[in-house]
């Protein structure tokens, strides 16, 4: 058992049960409070793999992954960085939990079979600058239209909508949410470095747009990231219909 996997609460539980003749691993683990770990246990990786997969299914059902587009990840280790990520060039409707790859911060495959996505570098940039546990990226008509329209300005500012309260730390529709827009590029190394610098500089950023390409957002779990994704896409749809 790797104690690095658990917080002080779990270690305390283990310590108080140390003198018992036999303490089943399952019983100890059920008492563990979920916090950002250095390295997670295999059982938790399996849960995260299935959690991410259930979110991918919801995203594909919305039609947000046209023509194999989109990529999705969950953080499973921070030192060294390890993420479970969807493979490139695969119809996300046909994906199963076993298809998710384990990759490092350079998007080199640690385990699994399939082609890693170069856009994984952007996921890594998010994990290195945010306390996020999941990153989601989709291509939609609304985010494509708006990201092109506002590229010259470099950002979209949204205010006045109730659904903004679905975003972390937002308590009023009067909140001003600013989403930076980057010119699209096939040079993912440079693009991810630019995004890394922007996220380091402005801790309020909750999503990033690539012009004519798509949206990246994140959260403390795949479910939380999905909520942010839905809120942003709702807002983009409203703005693009308003013209
Ligand atoms: Zn993309």
pLDDT at 66: 92
Give me ligand 1 centre to Cα 120, in Å: 10
Q: Please count the structural domains in the chain.
A: 2
Whether the per-residue pLDDT at 56 is higher than 60: the answer is yes
Give me ligand 1 centre to Cα 159, in Å: 26
pLDDT at 65: 92
Query: Quick one: 21 and 106 in the same domain?
Result: no
Give me ligand 1 centre to Cα 69, in Å: 6
Give me ligand 1 centre to Cα 13, in Å: 44
Query: Quick one: 70 and 169 in the same domain?
Result: yes
**Per-residue confidence at 243, pLDDT binned at 50, 70, 90?**
confident
Looking up tokens 């793999």 gives 49
Query: Quick one: 80 and 135 in the same domain?
Result: yes
pTM for this predicted structure: 0.84
The length of the chain is: 243
Query: Quick one: 220 and 159 in the same domain?
Result: yes
Give me ligand 1 centre to Cα 202, in Å: 23
DSSP character for 43? H
Give me ligand 1 centre to Cα 16, in Å: 49
Query: Quick one: 31 and 113 in the same domain?
Result: no
Give me ligand 1 centre to Cα 71, in Å: 7
pLDDT tens per residue, range 4-42:
333 333 333 333 333 333 333 333 333 333 335 547 788
DSSP character for 177? E
Sheet strands side by side (includes 177-182): 109-111, 101-103, 81-85, 71-78, 134-138, 214-219, 207-210, 177-182, 155-158
Give me ligand 1 centre to Cα 214, in Å: 6
pLDDT at 5: 35
Q: Highest mean pLDDT range out of 19-28, 39-48, 74-83?
A: 74-83
Question: 36 or 134: which carries more pLDDT confidence?
Answer: 134
Query: Quick one: 111 and 20 in the same domain?
Result: no
Q: In whole angstroms, give the CA distance from residue 49 to residue 74.
A: 8
Query: Quick one: 25 and 138 in the same domain?
Result: no
Give me ligand 1 centre to Cα 117, in Å: 9
Query: Quick one: 63 and 28 in the same domain?
Result: no
Query: Quick one: 102 and 123 in the same domain?
Result: yes
Give me ligand 1 centre to Cα 85, in Å: 13
Distances (CA, A) of 5 to 2, 142, 157: 6, 41, 40
Give me ligand 1 centre to Cα 121, in Å: 12
Q: What does residue 217 show for φ and ψ, rounded to 5 degrees?
A: -145, 175
**Per-residue confidence at 124, pLDDT binned at 50, 70, 90?**
very high
Nearest to 129 by CA among 205, 188, 34: 205
* Mean pLDDT of the region 111-120: 95
When mean pLDDT is compared across 24-28, 99-103, 144-148, the lowest value belongs to: 24-28
Give me ligand 1 centre to Cα 4, in Å: 34
Query: Quick one: 134 and 173 in the same domain?
Result: yes
Nearest to 134 by CA among 195, 66, 18, 55: 55
Give me ligand 1 centre to Cα 65, in Å: 9
Residue 24: domain span: 1-35
Per residue in 128-155, is it b (16+ CB within 10 Å) or e — as a string?
A: ebbebbbbbbbbbebbbebbeebbeeee
Angle among Cα 56, 224, 118 to the nearest 5 degrees reads 50
Query: Quick one: 116 and 61 in the same domain?
Result: yes
Query: Quick one: 48 and 81 in the same domain?
Result: yes
Q: What is the CATH number of the domain that holds 114?
A: 3.40.225.10
Looking up tokens 């290195």 gives 128
Q: What is the mean pLDDT of the chain?
A: 86
Give me ligand 1 centre to Cα 41, in Å: 30
pLDDT at 100: 97
């Amino acid at each position: 058992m790797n104690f690095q996997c658990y917080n002080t609460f779990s270690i305390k539980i283990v310590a108080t049960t140390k003198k018992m003749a036999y303490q089943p691993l399952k019983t100890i683990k059920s008492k563990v409070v979920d916090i950002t770990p250095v390295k997670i246990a295999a059982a938790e990786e399996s849960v995260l793999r299935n959690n991410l997969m259930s979110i991918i299914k919801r995203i594909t059902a919305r039609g947000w992954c046209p023509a194999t587009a989109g990529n999705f990840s969950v953080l499973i280790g921070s030192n060294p960085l390890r993420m479970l990520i969807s493979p490139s060039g695969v119809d996300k409707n046909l994906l199963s939990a076993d298809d998710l790859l384990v990759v490092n911060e350079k998007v080199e495959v640690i385990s699994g079979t399939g082609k890693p996505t170069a856009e994984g570098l952007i996921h890594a940039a998010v994990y290195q600058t945010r306390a996020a546990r999941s990153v989601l990226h989709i291509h939609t008509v609304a985010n494509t239209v708006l990201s092109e329209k506002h590229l010259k300005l470099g950002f979209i500012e949204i205010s006045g909508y109730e659904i903004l309260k679905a975003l972390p730390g937002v308590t009023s529709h009067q909140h001003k949410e600013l989403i930076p827009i980057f010119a699209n590029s096939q040079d993912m190394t440079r693009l991810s470095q630019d995004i890394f610098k922007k996220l380091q500089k402005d801790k309020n950023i909750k999503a990033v747009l690539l012009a004519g390409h798509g949206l990246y957002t994140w959260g403390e779990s795949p479910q939380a990231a999905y909520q942010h994704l839905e809120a942003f896409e709702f807002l983009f749809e409203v703005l693009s219909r308003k013209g």
